[in-house]
Structure 1
Amino acid sequence: MSAVMAVVTAEPCVHTLHVPGTFHCERGGVLHDVVLTYSTYGQMSPSGDNVVWILHPLTCNAQPMDWWPEFVGPGKAINADEHFIVCVNSLGSCYGSTGPDSINPATDSPYHTDFPLITLKDVVALHEQVRAHLRIEAIHLGIGGSYGGQQLMEWMCRAPDLFAYACVIGAGARQSPWAVALNETQRMAMESDSTFGSGNEGAGQRGLAAARSLAVMSYRSQRVYNTTQAEANDEVCDGYRASSYQRHIGNKFTRRFSACAYWTLTKAMDSHNVGRGRGSIRNALAAVRTRVLFVALQDDLLFPVDEVRGTADMTPGAQFAVIDSDYGHDSILTHARDISLRIVRFIADSVSREEALA
């Protein structure tokens, strides 16, 4: 690993970190010379007290201004004038970090389905490599939604004093059987495509399109579908708007994501359980010293409100809020401004309480 800290500027910059040697995955697999792609935005303060670490949702890249423009950027709640912003592309993804489409040094060809099974513990262990490289001793605020929220939960349990504040959005302490079942059904769709994992151009795309189409149904609510995909009259008996929409979103996804990477990341997501190796979920959360805001999303089918509230109840001193929206789990992106306002208020209120007690 280079001992020189990456250069940071007032504009978003994308960096690559090479982690030499052998990385041992939790489930026994081995990776060599891992590559991590990450972005930075802003400048770290002399005291290092302005670091904001953003952990991306399942299929996003390491540039949050691309997918959270209402949250991150000039004039937004998280901005380069005030913060040093870091976001790392997850291990196993296809946006620059080592994943199934990377070259396997043992075969000199892409891993594809030979890529080892990874867990969120592995993903977070490599975030720690980036943190060490950037010489970050403490993180002022961690923010993660969905898969990113799961990473943040794991990281807080691994390093209970690392984050001063954290906001976990649409995620809990473990992946529920319901969410595992949804992901397994998506993987079954991918595996039913005979080209999946073959390495040929376009391999697995039909299965990936079907999987993504299914996934989006768990990200949205019935109310949104019934409103946005309703037919204009009662005479329609085929060629439904909802049908064409499902095909559109599935096919569109195949133009930006890899089938093997999607399979890998859904397996990593299913591994999420902060209680593993720590005695129990309650024991793991009891150790957290971060001031945490849990944000649940109304009509979230994937991580229901009660599930997120239950995790908040087990986390010492945690606050809990619900975003009122018809968009369910997708509110992480569609209601980014509302979430950002909650975070700003949460931190301001926390500071006020601390000053009153001082």
Structure 2
Amino acid sequence: MNLTMNLKSPYLIIDMAQETYTNEDPLKLESGEFLPGFQLAYTTQGHLNTSKDNVIWVIHALTGDANVQEWWSGLVGEDKFYDPTKHFIVCANLLGSCYGSTQPLSENPKTGKPYYYDFPHLTTKDMALSLDLLREHLGIMEINTLIGGSLGGQVALEWAYLLKHKVKNTVILASNAKTSPWTIGFNETQRMAIESDSTWGQSTPEAGKKGLEAARAIAMLSYRHPENFAENQADAEDKTDQFRVSSYLRYQGNKLANRFNALSYWTLTKTMDSHDLGRGRGGVKKALSEIPSRVLAIGVDRDLLFLREESQFIAQNVQLGTYREIQSPYGHDAFLIEYSQLSYILSSFYLEAND
């Protein structure tokens, strides 16, 4: 990270940067296993103000990365809702993901070879703990807004529980407090697709690649709503084969397989499955009730993967909860697309805090 101090200015100037945080101490995981040190790739944009209370920490979804200004360009960036000229924006690649953080293809220091299938099981609590170590490394004492969607929302909720009063606002988009059997089922079918790849089990970076293509195609069916497919993938003429939606799903599968790896995908979907804020804390309702920050839970009316009722449940059980809803035929993916609605909802949320 590029840090410069202007002695004539009260601001710590932090340029847009992509860096890697290295923790050499073993990280005890919720499973009881230890990860012998780890790395997190992260980006920072903007600068800390004098009171250091303008931190916006974004947590990406399943196959996202730390470059939030690219995949959330309608919400983060200059003249956008979260503007780096006003905020200090941080986004880290989650532990287990393959965009610069420690993951199954990383070297296991105990063997000198990649972890491959020996990579330990991670939970959302483990991810939150790793992010908190990065927070301490960056010298951030308070987070103004912690925001994430889908898997990112699960990690954000877990971290909000751990942070307590160190976070002022928590925004959870299209997510939940405990993963439902429905979502676990979708994830299991994807892992079954990866398992069916004849290369799965081999200790190579390409293992499970074709299976990952099929897994992504399955996932796309849960990310969008049937209305969206009917509008954008319907064929203009009577056909008996070679349908547009077939080509679209194959394209999406190939696209992901060329930028991601099956082992990371396997790891992260397992992490999503294990999400349960109430585990070891007296249940989900009790755990939610112990989150002191203002919480905005945003659901999507036609989300087939994380039902809006799950977002409503979060808002109803935290101390200071608000529920708002995106109306969209895009389904689950709406939180990455419907920028106008998101900006309006977020504006209202912050205005309410000032009333």
State the TM-score, normalizing by the size of structure 1: 0.94
Alignment partner of 1:268 out of 266, 271, 296 = 271
Alignment partner of 1:7 out of 3, 8, 21 = 3
**Residue 314, structure 1, aligned to residue 310, structure 2:** no
C-alpha distance in 1 between matches for 2:84 and 2:311: 30
> % of aligned pairs identical?
41
C-alpha distance in 1 between matches for 2:134 and 2:343: 25
**Residue 281 (structure 1) aligns with:** 284
**Residue 205 (structure 1) aligns with:** 209
**Residue 21, structure 1, aligned to residue 25, structure 2:** yes
Please state how far the C-alpha of 1:201 moved relative to its aligned partner.
Answer: 5.1
**Residue 120, structure 1, aligned to residue 116, structure 2:** no
**Residue 323, structure 1, aligned to residue 319, structure 2:** no
C-alpha distance in 1 between matches for 2:270 and 2:91: 21
Alignment partner of 2:160 out of 138, 156, 159 = 156
**Residue 304 (structure 2) aligns with:** 301
C-alpha distance in 1 between matches for 2:329 and 2:323: 19
1:60–1:67: 8 Å Cα contact kept in structure 2? yes
C-alpha distance in 2 between matches for 1:12 and 1:179: 36
Alignment partner of 1:30 out of 30, 34, 47 = 34
Please state how far the C-alpha of 1:65 moved relative to its aligned partner.
Answer: 0.4
Please state how far the C-alpha of 1:126 moved relative to its aligned partner.
Answer: 0.5
C-alpha distance in 2 between matches for 1:228 and 1:205: 27
Describe how 1:1-358 pairs up with structure 2 within 5 A: 7=3, 11-200=15-204, 202-234=206-238, 236-352=239-355
State the AA in 2 paired with 1:104: N
C-alpha distance in 1 between matches for 2:292 and 2:132: 18
State the AA in 2 paired with 1:76: K
Q: How many residues align?
A: 347
C-alpha distance in 2 between matches for 1:85 and 1:108: 35
State the AA in 2 paired with 1:238: D
C-alpha distance in 2 between matches for 1:58 and 1:269: 9
C-alpha distance in 2 between matches for 1:50 and 1:197: 46
Per-residue CA distance 1:63-121 (angstroms, 9 max, x = gap): 10010000000000101111001111100000001001101112211111110101111
Q: Secondary structure at the match of 1:318?
A: strand
Deviates more, 1:133-142 or 1:105-114: 105-114
C-alpha distance in 1 between matches for 2:22 and 2:158: 23
Per-residue CA distance 1:27-69 (angstroms, 9 max, x = gap): 1222212111111101111211101110111110011001000
Q: Secondary structure at the match of 1:58?
A: coil
C-alpha distance in 1 between matches for 2:340 and 2:108: 41
State the AA in 2 paired with 1:289: P
State the AA in 2 paired with 1:77: F
Please state how far the C-alpha of 1:6 moved relative to its aligned partner.
Answer: 6.1
C-alpha distance in 2 between matches for 1:289 and 1:351: 17
1:14–1:38: 8 Å Cα contact kept in structure 2? yes
Please state how far the C-alpha of 1:256 moved relative to its aligned partner.
Answer: 0.6
Q: Secondary structure at the match of 2:37?
A: strand
Q: Secondary structure at the match of 2:344?
A: helix
2:121–2:270: 8 Å Cα contact kept in structure 1? yes
Structure 1 runs not aligned, ≥5 long: 353-358
C-alpha distance in 1 between matches for 2:175 and 2:166: 20
State the AA in 2 paired with 1:207: G
C-alpha distance in 1 between matches for 2:62 and 2:15: 25
State the AA in 2 paired with 1:242: V
**Moved beyond 3 Å, runs of 4+:** 8-11
C-alpha distance in 1 between matches for 2:89 and 2:205: 36
2:190–2:218: 8 Å Cα contact kept in structure 1? yes
1:77–1:341: 8 Å Cα contact kept in structure 2? no
Q: Secondary structure at the match of 2:42?
A: strand
C-alpha distance in 1 between matches for 2:204 and 2:122: 24
Q: Secondary structure at the match of 1:130?
A: helix
